[in-house]
Homo-oligomer: A and B are copies of this chain.
Amino acid sequence: MTEGESGGYRGDGRGLLLKHNISIGDTVEVDTVDDKLSGIIMPRYEAASDEFIVIKLKSGYNVGIRIPRIRSIRKLSRNTASVNVKSSGKPENKNLPRLALISTGGTIASKVDYRTGGVHPALSASELYDSVPELAAVAQIEPEVLLSEYSENLNPGHWTMIAQKIADKVQKGTFSGVVVSHGTDTMHYSAAALSFALQRLPVPVVLVGAQRSSDRPSSDAALNLLGATTFAVGSEVSGVFVAMHHGTSDDAVAIHVGTRVRKNHTSRRDAFESIDVTPVALVRNGRIEMQKKSSIKLTPRKSDAQLKLSPKFDASVALLKYHPGFDPRFIDYAVTAGYKAIILEGTGLGHVSRECYPALKNAIKAGLVVCMTSQCIWGRVGMTVYDTGRDLLEIGVVPLSDMISETATVKAMWALANTRNVSSTIEMMKENVANEMTSALPIS
């Protein structure tokens, strides 16, 4: 193993690999005090301790193994595959589909912190192939760093920027798909925003993040990126999607519709879940398994589709979550402060207390669009069922069916920027634009 092949290993790790004549990319079998594991030796991440070596399991997961726990290590096969994993590595196959990878700061690849790309802005294709060797067999990746932000700092102006960048890539006509790496905190808001901003996409746009940074042994970064890439270049459907770890097994990535997904856990790798629908597809062992049960109507991939770009957002939308003791003065304040729309996150089927009625009447009279979602998250508002709902409908509150409140907030910002007046904004909110609603069924 030369310096260039050490993959950043130092100290004990490097010693162990040298002793057994093992290089980065070799397939090995490791006998530890706990398990017998086999996989590909991965480059060491700069932030990682010297005490580990990292191998990529067949499942796509990276596992860090503490060197003192290793009983023996054995090379099974030499670095092969369709991938050259040296630092200057390039995929051999120029016939693979081309993928545009836009980095916004959530990531993914070994050299990039998963919360901000800031540390290594010069993300190169070869670095990606170094970190996730299987990528090189799936696509020719052309990465570009657009932003380096924690996703909680992204705002509607950033959505516009990302939408325009994607449009640039797509309109070149040479990419088979686009992947956007993104911090997970607000990835579902951005996915909804891009779903409205980019309609009639010729190719899929897939947002991807990681719940655990790639310098951690249990990172989901590599598997998620591989799943996103596989779907982006290989799927027969188009649209905006989120690709994240599925369930508790270690081998599947779920593909969610961009408007129907939510981060439902602070830390688990399978935190992202489709709400009220099944995921569109799973990507497992390099294969795309479309989920037939999905009730979502998808658009086929169509290379000559004429992209409709509407990238503007008007942030004058207040999301107000109702609770017992909620103060209607917050509604009054939204009016005073110049807001144009309010998304009420009501209880149950879409209710707020009758104490809110005067403030709501006043807001609607003042020209605000007031819409109702449910804080239950799952299910749909049903405002004709009880007095409270009927009262609110009469006041002029717009029920949003099974749209989740995060998507509703984003959609209202987009509708305000793309309509001329209150009534057309309301019409837009009621219309199913990007699978954000399922046609209403009776409450069951």
Contacts and interface: CB of A to CB of B under 8 A. Distances in A.
Interface string A303-337: 00000000001010111011111110110010001
Interface string A71-96: 00000000000000000000000000
A266 interface: yes
A266 B374 contact: yes
A329 B382 CA distance: 32
Contact of A185 (B313, B315, B326, B347): B347
A53 to B, nearest CB: 22
Contact of A317 (B158, B263, B325, B444): B325
Q: How large is the interface on A (under 10, 10 to 19, 20 to 34, 35 or more residues)?
A: 35 or more
B186 A324 contact: yes
Contacts of A264: 376-378
Interface stretch (A7-15, A132-140, A148-156): A148-156
Given A271-B376, A321-B321, A388-B152, A266 B348 contact: yes
A185 B153 contact: no
Contacts of A322: 152
Interface in A261-297: 263-268, 271
- Most chain B Cβ neighbours within 10 Å, of A313, A319, A382, A387: A319
A189 interface: yes
Ranked 5 nearest A-B pairs via Cβ = A266-B379, A315-B325, A185-B347, A185-B348, A152-B351
Given A152-B388, A154-B353, 11 more contacts: A152-B322, A152-B346, A153-B355, A155-B353, A159-B324, A185-B351, A189-B323, A266-B376, A266-B443, A317-B325, A318-B330
Interface of A: 115, 150-156, 158-159, 184-186, 189-190, 263-268, 271, 313, 315, 317-319, 321-327, 329-330, 333, 337, 345-355, 374, 376-382, 386-388, 406, 409-410, 413, 443-444
